[in-house]
Amino acid sequence: MADALNIAIIQSNLVWENAVQNRINFQAKIEAIVEVVDLIVLPEMFTSGFNMDAEAIAETMQGETVAWMQDLAKQKQVAIVGSIAVLENAKYYNRLLFVKPNGEIIQYDKRHSFSLAGEDKVFTSGTKKVIIEYKGWSICPQVCYDLRFPVWARNTENYDVLLYVANWPKQRIAAWDALLKARAIENMTYCIGVNRVGLDGNSFQYPGHSAVYDVLGEKLTNDNNGKEITEIVTLNKSHIEKNRRHLGFLNDKDAFNLTV
């Protein structure tokens, strides 16, 4: 079990509906990381931008992007996480892929489809909350719109890290900032949110605001808003254990059963 977990967050522009170019761009950014990191976090739909033309952008689990993630994770001996559009059994999913250094894939299908953009009409919602065990850390991965639903994220599993990948637009970025911090505080967990920057094919602007918060809601990252950045943050298990033991807020949480 590692007390420290080194996270690299990559806040990037995305090339609309161009998986090949996006893979090239992210490979260059990943290759440029010289520090030792355990996990690299990419945005939501990092091969295409947030796009409802599933037929044009979706790949299978045997497709080029999954193979690219596995090859790069093995080569760099690092875990890589991000979401892509996936076609499986004649259905489309906004699927987060957590690829471990040995090539093992753990997947999470976005639970809350963004109905404002018609995502619920195109993509099938996931039904399972996922907890990933990695290097002695428990990580709960979620995708973008899931951030607005605190019951789905409630820390009933005693996880250590809550992780969001997103395409969150400029006009609602205040909500992103507030909710990331709130999810960290209410769950006494590190909370990571990685958003994109730039203009997409539907003329929506994305300002970034990628961030990492600790269990008390303190922001650990810089304010690199609107820029392409790679930032590395170290998470410490002792910080979680000390504050949970001292404050004990999770001991008083409500008990409930969630139906999906």
Catalytic residue among 44, 59, 140, 181: 44
Exactly one of 59, 100, 110, 140 is catalytic; name it.
110
Could you give phi then psi for residue 250, rounded to 5 degrees?
-65, -20
Active site includes 242?
A: no
CA 58, CA 70: separation in Å to the nearest integer?
18
Among 151, 167, 13, which Cα is nearest to 83's? 167
Catalytic entry in 100, 129, 144, 181: 144
Is residue 144 flagged as an active site residue?
Answer: yes
Residues labelled catalytic = 44, 110, 144
